[in-house]
Amino acid sequence: MDHLQQSRLNLLTSHALDRAALVRLDEENLGQRIMSENARFIGVHHLQIAIDEENSSAHPALLTRSEAQQRFGYCEPWVYLGREDSKDYFAVLLDNARPHQTRGFAGLRALAATVDGAKATLLAYARAMAAWHQRHLYCSRCGAQTVSQHGGHVRACTHASCGEQHYPRTDPAIIVLVEKGERALFGRKPEWPAHRYSTLAGFVEPGESAEQALVREVMEETGVEVLSAHYHSSQPWPFPGSLMLGYSAQAGSEEITLNDQELEHAFWLDRDEITSRMQQGLFVLPPPISISFRLIEDWFDRHSTIPLRKLRENTGATHF
């Protein structure tokens, strides 16, 4: 399986959406699309997604223009997300026009687990763009207000002597499953749910390659030396705007020292130990929407008679 196929298996990475980048430059075309009966609107309020109020379970609301106006009172400011299945999708940015409310909205982590991959990708895209707009209401160069342009994919400074254009950015981060022999390295942050463990991760710093960041982060967090690393796949992670670059790595040492205190615990486990701990409720996996789960799953299933997802179901550890 090549890297493209690997990445497409990660949730939030569907290739079904046509982002229609050239359409963003055509205001007349955009105006026609947003008025069309085929336009669908996703409300985003304080990074929460509007849900279908008539559905007993949380399900994202993909509203027509009239439905969006009836519910929100307006359909702007908005971001053009693209086209899929003959429909044009827009994110409606609700944050600056109403008090913070939770009723009628739900988090992306919960919603992504209830919809198909294409819709999960669409919701993640909407949330990421909303987060970027929130952080760039003012020009980072001169401090003047900015305005949305090009279908919401540019924020332009309004100061005549500046005119800086700001584009959406994503922060690269590495995430790695470190192996040595039949064991893999897992860490736990203090703020996570009880018994939750995951792979190691960290942001790529300026002037650093992804592979250099991988070696540095593993050493900083656990004191373990990395000898080699192999790219696995990537996943956008809009919490608020990262790109996770997934790797597997081989360790040259086993001794663990929690150097930077980012982790409260780290240890090596083999597959049998993971199975035993999961059955006892002492090892909780990261959510399946994450690339960290994919990295663990690919490693675990390589030499296990029981697939990790089946083991997760059997132990009842299916919460997110």
CA–CA distance, 199 with 118 (Å, rounded to integer)? 26
What pLDDT, on the 0 to 100 scale, is given for residue 42? 97
CA–CA distance, 316 with 281 (Å, rounded to integer)? 9
Handedness of CA 107, 234, 227, 287 (dihedral sign): positive
What pLDDT, on the 0 to 100 scale, is given for residue 320? 46
Q: Which residue has the tokens 């860490």?
A: 187
What pLDDT, on the 0 to 100 scale, is given for residue 250? 98
Quickly count: other Cβ atoms within 10 Å of residue 145's Cβ. Answer: 12
What pLDDT, on the 0 to 100 scale, is given for residue 75? 83
CATH of domain 171-314: 3.90.79.10
What pLDDT, on the 0 to 100 scale, is given for residue 96? 64
Question: CA-CA distances (angstroms) from residue 157 to 78, 161, 189, 210?
Answer: 18, 9, 39, 32
DSSP H helices, 205-262, are 210-222
Q: Which pLDDT band, with edges at 50, 70 and 90, does 186 fall under?
A: very high
How many residues are there in the chain? Answer: 320
Taking only the tens place, the pLDDT of each residue in 241-271 is 999 999 999 999 999 999 888 999 999 999 9
Bridge partners of 138, per DSSP, are: 145
Using the predicted structure, report yes or no on whether residue 56 has a pLDDT greater than 80.
Answer: no
Helix, strand or coil, per DSSP, at residue 34: helix
Using the predicted structure, report yes or no on whether residue 302 has a pLDDT greater than 90.
Answer: yes
What pLDDT, on the 0 to 100 scale, is given for residue 29? 96
CA–CA distance, 175 with 295 (Å, rounded to integer)? 9
171-314 and 3-135 share a CATH fold: yes
Q: Where are the domains of the chain?
A: 3-135, 171-314
Using the predicted structure, report yes or no on whether residue 40 has a pLDDT greater than 80.
Answer: yes
CATH of domain 3-135: 3.90.79
Q: Which pLDDT band, with edges at 50, 70 and 90, does 317 fall under?
A: low
Selection from 57, 10, 66, 6 nearest residue 36 by Cα: 66
Could you give the percent of the chain with pLDDT greater than 90? 86
CA–CA distance, 30 with 9 (Å, rounded to integer)? 32
What pLDDT, on the 0 to 100 scale, is given for residue 97? 59
List the structure tokens of 186: 């897992």
Q: Which pLDDT band, with edges at 50, 70 and 90, does 316 fall under?
A: confident
Using the predicted structure, report yes or no on whether residue 233 has a pLDDT greater than 50.
Answer: yes
CA–CA distance, 144 with 67 (Å, rounded to integer)? 34
Taking only the tens place, the pLDDT of each residue in 93-109 is 998 656 677 789 999 99
Q: Are 170 and 292 in contact (CB under 8 A)?
A: no
What pLDDT, on the 0 to 100 scale, is given for residue 1? 82
List the structure tokens of 175: 């995430």
What pLDDT, on the 0 to 100 scale, is given for residue 81? 98
Q: What integer best gives the mean pLDDT of the chain? A: 94
CA dihedral 200, 206, 208, 213 (to 10 degrees): -10
Taking only the tens place, the pLDDT of each residue in 67-84 is 999 999 888 899 999 999
Would you list the DSSP string of 233-248?
EEEEETTTTEEEEEEE
What pLDDT, on the 0 to 100 scale, is given for residue 66? 95
CA–CA distance, 116 with 123 (Å, rounded to integer)? 11
What pLDDT, on the 0 to 100 scale, is given for residue 158? 98
Using the predicted structure, report yes or no on whether residue 309 has a pLDDT greater than 70.
Answer: yes
Q: Are 93 and 47 in contact (CB under 8 A)?
A: no
Taking only the tens place, the pLDDT of each residue in 117-146 is 999 999 999 999 999 999 999 999 999 999
CA–CA distance, 151 with 31 (Å, rounded to integer)? 10
